[in-house]
Structure 1
Amino acid sequence: MTKKPLHNIYSKEILRQKLESESVSRRTLSFYRYVIISDPKTMRDRLYSDWEDLGVLGRIYIAREGINAQLSVPEPNFAALREYLDGTTEFKEIPFKIAVEDDGRSFLKLEIKVREKIVADGLDDGSFDVTDVGVHLSAEEFNRKLESSDALVVDVRNHYESEIGHFEGALLPQADTFREELPMILDLLKDQKDKEILMYCTGGIRCEKASAYLRHHGFRKVYQLHGGIIEYAAEIRRKGLPSRFKGKNFVFDGRLQETIGQEILSECHQCGNSSAHHINCANPACHVLFIQCESCAEKFDHCCSEECKEIHSLPEAEQRKLRKGKSASNRHFSKSRIRPKVFELHRKN
């Protein structure tokens, strides 16, 4: 009997064709939980085998400390996924964050990885109590706290996330990674320990560590938005509440963003015109994430520079030769460092 492969075996083109040919709609959701998983590798293989049968696509991280999942599931199998998780001791009654906007094309494949941590934070968890987290606030409670003159709002996300959308009056650390951001936040707030600190992130997971980190450093009035921006958007729509979040919510899947407010807060990284459209450079050897307006998308053929545009126009075989042995994953336009020359040149043209 042939053993079932516990990893993707199809090309991106085939995966896209399979997704496009589906006759059912999909639901995109995310969830996380800090919980001890005694054997992450065994858990990983079990989830892959069972979730593939349910048609789950997505990116899931498993570690001894828990699970962090962003995925999509065919609508007819949504209840089965809920039942599956409730039947697994570690994940029983785990809260779902349902996508605000969903075209069903958020993921192409199922990818489950075993990691040291479910979020890379660079912290020594043994040096402080990671369970001593801030007070969780609903959207309604968060809005009420925002009206207090004694409150400081802190965005616990990377700069390319907060650039396109954030809460009114929030501190926006210009960090490239969560690992970099934690000491930045501590420095920004070092003289504010008597203030109420309101923290938020995409789905709540980064606030769990960040709030415990602040409490460890002497901050006592620490609050965090329950369920993050995703749950905030759902609750304000459900209850008819005013939204204090402006612009778009960055998400780590094929959609790249969800619209929460209609405001455009950011600029095209190439020409400076108003835009909130994130895109990965069409040259696979580059693949840098940046903001590009419609005009520059047409001018540069969805690439970040003339050089990448020229490479992108070459036959695929030549492109493969040029990018052989090179990695272009997880690269993004960096505001926290010197602006890349390609974007400076475009501004002068």
Structure 2
Amino acid sequence: MDPNANKYLLFNKLSSQDAKKKLESETFKRTTLSFYKYVNLKDISFYRDYLYREWDKLKVLGRVYIATEGINAQISIPNYNIEKFKEQLDNDIYLKNISLKEAIEEKDFSFFKLIIKIKKRIVADGLNEIDFDSSKVGNHLSAGEWNDAIDKGAVIVDMRNHYESEIGHFKNAILPQSETFKQELPMVKELLSENKNDKILLYCTGGIRCEKASAYLKHNGFRDVNQLHGGIIDYKKQLMENPKLENKFIGKNFVFDERLSEKISEKVISFCHQCGSKCDMHINCKNMSCNLLFIQCKKCKEKFKSCCSTECKKIIDLSENEQKILRQGSINKNRFNSHRIIN
């Protein structure tokens, strides 16, 4: 008798290609949601498995990180299961009354699988929280309050990575050229060393990074720290609900799923990394052992066959077997951990 016969499969064994085919065969619409919560989770191994069982039943796809400090989730869910999902959240002692942020655009699939991982932190910040109280966060500002503060000359800081702000940001914001959030925190503290008594405005994609960043700056002596409530995603939603509000964000909002971005304004502020023409479309190099994240226009995409260089283009022209041999031990599976401007 199979000892695992009655056990629920708690991870998705489909290949990326098979998962994509399965998704493409669906006849219903999906909605992309993101949410986070800092909450003290108990027995996270058990809780991780519980979430997987419950959410897999609802055909949830996405990427979810849980840690003893809380949860950080970006998911895709069938529209017909949204209310059931909300009911499940409301019956969860940890996630009751959690704020859900709905995607602005649903032009492409956002996720192909459900992946729930246990992490040391729900955002990799490199901080020792014994040294400061991470619950003492900055003031949350609505879109209207945010715009008013900008008009009065507050200091605006983008708490995202350089490849995110490259395609879109608030006008006149400080744009740290960081690769990671962990790297950015001390960088921002240094950049703002002369502004400890000024009104500081922090923003990020959905708000989670600003929770830690605002507490970190307050701990380091900054007196008036504020953050955009719900991040860029909620800012756009508030603009849509109140057309009288001015949109002070230019370009696109980078998102960490298959869509890679959402349009916040019509203006294109970035350039193709290969030819220099105006472009705001990120792509991962088609050579899987490279997988570099960069900006590529349609002409260069055709010219380089979706590759970042002639060297990578030569590799994808090889047979599949030759490519497998070349990338043994060197394949880059994380599509967001390698990014730079192509020379």
TM-score by length of 1: 0.95
Q: 1:130 & 1:114 partners in 2: Cα distance? A: 20
Kindly indicate whether the alpha-carbon contact (under 8 Å) linking 1:132 and 1:212 is maintained by their aligned counterparts in 2.
Answer: yes
Q: 1:49 aligns with which of 46, 53, 78?
A: 53
Q: Is the 8 A contact 1:27 1:104 kept in 2?
A: no
| CA drift at 1:168 | 0.7
Contact 1:154 1:200 (8 Å CA) reproduced: yes
Q: How does 1:82-231 map to 2 (within 5 A)?
A: 82-103=86-107, 105-149=109-153, 151-231=154-234
1:299 maps to 2:300: no
Match in the other structure for 1:11: 15
Q: What is the match of residue 347 of structure 1?
A: none
Letter in 1 for 2:78: P
Shift of 1:317: 1.9
Distance 1:288 1:29 in 2: 26
Quick check: 1:275 aligned with 2:262? no
Name the structure 1 match of 2:337.
331
Letter in 2 for 1:195: D
Offset at residue 294 of structure 1 (A): 1.0
Percent identical among aligned pairs is 52
CA distance in 1, matches of 2:181, 2:213: 9
CA RMSD in angstroms comes to: 1.0
Amino acid at match of 2:184: E
- Is 1:69 matched up with 2:66? no
User: In the aligned structure 2, how far is the partner of 1:210 from the partner of 1:2?
Assistant: 45
Cα deviation, residue 59, structure 1: 0.2
Secondary structure, aligned partner of 1:274:
coil
Aligned residue type for 2:28: V
> Partner of 1:24 in structure 2?
28
2:108–2:259 contact (8 Å) kept in structure 1: no
Query: Once the 2 structures are TM-superposed, how far is the Cα of residue 129 of structure 1 from its aligned partner?
Result: 0.7
Measured after TM superposition, the shift of residue 2 of structure 1 is 3.5
Q: Aligned equivalents of 2:173 and 2:16: distance in 1?
A: 39
Tell me how far apart the structure 1 counterparts of residues 110 and 50 of structure 2 sit (CA, whole Å).
23
CA distance in 2, matches of 1:192, 1:142: 18
Provide the rounded CA distance (Å) in 2 between the counterparts of 1:236 and 1:5.
Answer: 42
SS of match in other structure, 1:6: coil
Task: Give the TM-score, by structure 2 length.
Answer: 0.96
Deviation at 1:332, TM superposition (A): 2.6
CA shift for structure 1 position 140 = 1.0
Conservation of the 8 A alpha-carbon contact between 1:287 and 1:331:
no
Are the equivalent residues in 2 in contact too, given 1:35–1:65 (CA < 8 A)? Answer: yes
Q: Is this contact kept in 2: 1:29–1:96, CA < 8 A?
A: yes
Question: Number of aligned pairs?
Answer: 336
**CA positional deviation for 1:104:** 5.3
Secondary structure class of the residue paired with 2:271: coil
Letter of the aligned partner of 1:233 in structure 2? K
What is the one-letter code of the residue matched to 1:154?
V
1:164 and 1:265 in contact (8 A); partners too: yes
Alpha carbons 2:271, 2:277 under 8 Å: kept: yes
Residue of structure 1 equivalent to 2:319: 315
Distance 1:75 1:59 in 2: 18
Shift of 1:273: 1.3
Asked if residue 60 in structure 1 is aligned to residue 64 in structure 2, the reply is: yes
Distance (Å, rounded) in 1 between the aligned partners of 2:57 and 2:195: 51
Tell me the alpha carbon deviations over residues 192-242 of structure 1, each in whole angstroms, 9 at most, x when there is no partner: 111100000000000000000000011110000000000000001111121
Return the alpha-carbon distance in structure 1 between the equivalents of residues 101 and 266 of structure 2: 21
Contact persistence 2:288–2:331 (CA under 8 A): no
How big is the shift at 1:318? Answer: 1.7
Q: Which amino acid in 2 is paired with 1:161?
A: E
> Contact conserved, 1:135 with 1:223, CA < 8 A, in 2?
yes
The answer as to whether partners of 2:157 and 2:201 remain within 8 angstroms in 1 is: yes
Q: Work out the CA distance in 2 between the residues paired with 1:317 and 1:105.
A: 29
Check if 1:251 corresponds to 2:255.
yes
5+ residue gaps, structure 1, are: 345-349
* Aligned AA (2:212): K
